[in-house]
Amino acid sequence: MTRALTVKQRKFVKHYVESGNATQAALAAYDTTDPHTASAIAAETLEKPGVQQAVAELLDANGLSDGKLLEIHARFLTLHASPEPQEKALALKALDMAYRLKGAYAPDREDGEVSLYALVRKMTVEELEDFLERKIFPERLRDEGMRVVARLQSAAGRM
């Protein structure tokens, strides 16, 4: 890790990687028993680049590398075609959790721009299934979706 973490931050990172739940990690690492306070502490802690890097390094060391994440993604993406609603829900939840742990979602932006994560969270399961199949945003989210795609394409072009 390039940035030094405090003892509490190290404890937070350990519990976060183990549980996948930032609020629970904050409850374990910081001096609070209030879930609302822990949630705020967790959000603030996860914004710190040193903590993000420590989480990524620990996930890589424990087997959730970017390559492994792609394998998980491919495996659970195939379940979207399952006739079983429970398998579909499991697949979406597993993908969401894996990407959340890797920090792949951008937080909601204060400048009013919507992140891909926020957009996906607005979709129903049926809309997500339709989006995966047809690659078209639901009508009610189409304008926001196209702005997000354009912003992501622009960012990818700068890389």
Least confident segment among 56-70, 82-96, 98-112: 98-112
Could you give the C-alpha distances from 140 to 34, 78, 127, 145, in angstroms and in order? 37, 26, 10, 10
Per-residue pLDDT at 17 = 82
pLDDT over 80 at 114, yes or no = no
Report d(CA 21, CA 112) in Å as an integer. 26
Task: Report the pLDDT averaged over residues 99-107.
Answer: 63
* CB contact at 8 A, 34 and 90: no
**Domains identified in the chain and CATH numbers:** 7-61 (1.10.10), 64-103 (no CATH), 105-159 (no CATH)
Structure tokens given for 52:
């993000």
Nearest to 132 by CA among 86, 72, 76, 94: 76
Start-to-end C-alpha separation, the chain: 24
Compute the mean pLDDT over every residue in the chain, rounded to the nearest whole number.
Answer: 77
Q: Where are the alpha helices (DSSP H) in the chain?
A: 7-19, 22-29, 35-46, 49-61, 66-78, 85-102, 116-121, 125-134, 142-157
Least confident segment among 16-25, 29-38, 79-88, 110-119: 110-119
Residue 121: its H or E element: helix 116-121
Per-residue pLDDT at 2 = 45
Structure tokens given for 128:
């997500």
Task: Report the pLDDT averaged over residues 88-92.
Answer: 74
Least confident segment among 2-11, 30-39, 107-116: 107-116
Task: Report the pLDDT averaged over residues 36-49.
Answer: 89
Place 159 in a pLDDT band, splitting at 50, 70 and 90. Answer: very low
- Which residues in 117-139 are b (16+ Cβ under 10 Å) and which e? bbbbeebeeebebebeeeeebbe
Per-residue pLDDT at 63 = 66
* CB contact at 8 A, 42 and 36: no
